[in-house]
Structure 1
Amino acid sequence: MKSQPSDRIKMPPGFWLGLHQIGVAAHDVARRVNLSLTIVTEPIVTTAQYFAIWHAYSELIGDMAKGIIELATGFETTKYPPTVLATYHARDYRDALQRMARYKQMCPPENLRMTEKGEHCSLELEWLENEQSCPPILIGITLAFLLELGRRGTGQPLKAQSVQFSQPMGDVKTLESYFGCSIKIGTKSNQLIFSREDLDRPFISYNKELLDILSPALDHSLNEQQRSYSITETVKWIMKRTLTAGRPNIETVAKELGMSERTLQRRLTEEQSSFKHLLTEARHEQARQHLIDPTLDIKEIAFLVGYEDQNSFYRAFRLWEGDTPANWRTSHLGEH
């Protein structure tokens, strides 16, 4: 079996410049997380180190809301990494966000899911690690930057319609002033919701010539990264992080992989698997993982693995394990 997506994360050079501009020294951050100052020039870290850096920034800045806004707005456009440059110079806000969602796959540990429904568009962050281990300030800055991208690209003072955070974010009033909307704390997910009309706003920073250079290189890098894992593992990984949105369909997964449904079906067949089989495996594996967490009740677990009601989850679990979720949990908790 091949490994899951890489645990190597590259810190963008502009991150350290951004910290310096708001009065936070790189050596203070490095000292707090027991890393060498070479982190600035050799910026490859593990997920644990990446989270520790953000925790350190949060502690040093003190005021979390202030730290979110200052870094999101202070990051210089000229220091954007190539993946972000390709979004800043997109045709419009929709194009920018679609590119962001696609290229985020090369930048663990978070991914971005964009959903257009009715008059609204939601941008939801999904984490490869336990969401509770993710520094709240990183969640806040990521959503703030997505709005900042739209503001810079369109040249308009865009406002969100609502923002949801699963963890406390400091001074909510300060953040509401920045986002231009009400903020909910303690939700199940982290989402930025805004008017779907904003997606059609053209970017004044649109640069077709630059995109013609950047896009092929980024797409090649993404495809190379995806080919380093088997297609069955990659599909199952995508499924697991989208189960809470309901039953993942092959059209959505194929689109995220940048291929047609027919190509995805063919490649799964070549690896002697199928979309339906992988979905069952993903739900089964996630159910077992969640059941060994005593803080989750079974009704919540049913939702987390994509079932609309608890009875459907019970029937499925009995087929998988020959037992009820409650009995399985009781007999396996002592093993972990």
Structure 2
Amino acid sequence: PLLIGITLAFLLELGRRGTGQPLTAKSVEFAHPMGDMQALEAYFGCRIRSGADRNRLTLHRGDLDRPFVSYNAELLEILTPVLDQSLNDQQNSLSITGVVKWIMKRTLTGGHPDIRTVAGELGMSGRTLQRRLTDEGTSFKQLLIQVRHEQAREYLADPSLDIKEVAFLIGYEDQNSFYRAFRLWEGETPSNWRKQTRMNGLN
């Protein structure tokens, strides 16, 4: 929720700085409670609704038509093809798989992310999320295993963390379950993997 609030505020601020005008939003909606609503309403310049079905910033039509003070038609004509290609590349690289993995890593510590919680953050049902993941050739369970494996390697590379802490950080309640999982991933215990990685780093 905090990241969403910052993002919407940034978009309005971009419009304010770009046009040089004190723009206000037409309406702002948040799916989750956002804390100090009075301060947010003062910033956005409109009433804010929480508990909505989605997060949304609506601007006034007239403000959307305002040119940026730095607008340069000739330069824009040169840059547009490059910017369009960059945007296409970005869109092609975005995937629901990548977003789900990011959410999992953020919520992994000491727990077990479930599909309903992750789907809720994305504003969709668990069934819809699973269908989207299937379209990309994976599943929620596969991604969870992959994220735990990736995070385990990353944490084990940090000598300041003991094995028990690593197990907790990637969502295992007991160390034995982590040991069994890691053996399946790497074919050896976390302790041996850490020693070998450290030796390889010294060589």
Q: Same fold (TM over 0.5)?
A: yes
Aligned to 1:269: 134
CA contact (8 A) 1:314 1:325 kept: yes
Q: CA deviation at 1:252?
A: 0.3
Residue from 67, 91, 96 that aligns with 1:231:
96
Q: Are 1:278 and 2:117 an aligned pair?
A: no
Q: CA deviation at 1:81?
A: 8.9
Which residue identity is paired with 1:252? T
- Partners of 1:276 and 1:264 lie apart in 2 by 12
Aligned to 2:152: 287
Aligned to 1:244: 109
Q: Are 1:326 and 2:191 an aligned pair?
A: yes
Per the normalisation by structure 2, the TM-score is: 0.60
- Partners of 1:239 and 1:233 lie apart in 2 by 10
- Partners of 1:315 and 1:81 lie apart in 2 by 55
Q: CA deviation at 1:12?
A: 5.3
Aligned to 1:69: none
Per the normalisation by structure 1, the TM-score is: 0.38
Which residue identity is paired with 1:290? Y
Cα deviation, 1:292-327, whole Å, max 9, x if unaligned, reads 001111100000000001111011101111100000
3-state secondary structure, aligned to 1:241: helix
Cα deviation, 1:185-210, whole Å, max 9, x if unaligned, reads xxxxxxxxxxxxxxxxxxx99xxx85
How do residues 1-336 of structure 1 correspond to structure 2 at under 5 angstroms? Answer: 86=28, 98=32, 100=34, 146=35, 149=36, 152=38, 210-211=47-48, 215-217=55-57, 229-336=94-201
* Backbone CA RMSD of aligned residues: 4.0
Cα deviation, 1:129-160, whole Å, max 9, x if unaligned, reads xxxxxxxxxxxxxxxxx5xx16x47xxxxxxx
Aligned to 1:143: none
Q: CA deviation at 1:86?
A: 3.6
Q: CA deviation at 1:232?
A: 1.0
Cα deviation, 1:241-293, whole Å, max 9, x if unaligned, reads 11114110000000001111111111111111001000000000000000000
CA contact (8 A) 1:86 1:99 kept: no
- Partners of 1:80 and 1:313 lie apart in 2 by 52
Identity %: 54
- Partners of 2:154 and 2:24 lie apart in 1 by 35
CA contact (8 A) 2:152 2:170 kept: yes
CA contact (8 A) 2:28 2:57 kept: no
Q: CA deviation at 1:216?
A: 3.9
- Partners of 2:11 and 2:157 lie apart in 1 by 40
Which residue identity is paired with 2:156? L
Aligned to 2:75: none
Q: 1:334 to 1:318 in 2, by over 3 A?
A: same
* Gapped regions of structure 1 (runs ≥ 5): 1-8, 16-40, 43-78, 101-145, 154-203, 219-224
- Partners of 2:94 and 2:160 lie apart in 1 by 33
- Partners of 1:325 and 1:264 lie apart in 2 by 32
* Gapped regions of structure 2 (runs ≥ 5): 1-6, 59-89
- Partners of 2:167 and 2:9 lie apart in 1 by 36
Equivalent residue pairs, number: 151
3-state secondary structure, aligned to 2:109: helix
- Partners of 2:198 and 2:9 lie apart in 1 by 38
Q: 1:13 to 1:231 in 2, by over 3 A?
A: closer
Q: 1:255 to 1:228 in 2, by over 3 A?
A: farther
- Partners of 1:327 and 1:268 lie apart in 2 by 34
